[in-house]
């Protein structure tokens, strides 16, 4: 036999159900937010990597070759 101290009233049961529903909704929102952040970070990271690669490729194309005449004038200026 259970005592009335351990029994929940219908009102307490409804309150617990409302609280549980709110917790589940909050967990779902948090989960969705974390998913969006994860996807956004991976997209941002891939953009940064591709941007850095293209900048390196441009720098590589734009670097002039040092010839012996420019090398000798450079040495003259540094002395």
Q: How far is CA 36 from CA 23, 42, 45, 61, 79, in A?
A: 20, 10, 14, 37, 58
* H or E stretch covering 23: helix 10-62
Answer for the pair 8, 16: CB distance below 8 angstroms, yes or no.
Answer: yes
pLDDT for the residue numbered 47: 79
- Summarize pLDDT for 20-69 with one digit per residue, the tens: 999 999 999 999 999 888 887 777 777 788 888 888 888 877 766 565 55
To the question of pTM greater than 0.85 for the whole model, the response is: no
């Amino acid at each position: 036999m259970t005592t009335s101290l351990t029994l929940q009233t219908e009102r307490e049961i409804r309150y617990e159900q409302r609280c549980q529903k709110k917790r589940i909704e909050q967990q779902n929102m948090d989960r969705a937010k974390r998913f969006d952040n994860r996807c956004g970070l991976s997209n941002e990271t891939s953009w940064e990597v591709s941007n850095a690669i293209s900048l390196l490729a441009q720098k590589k194309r734009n670097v002039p070759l040092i010839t012996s005449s420019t090398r000798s004038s450079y040495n003259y200026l540094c002395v």
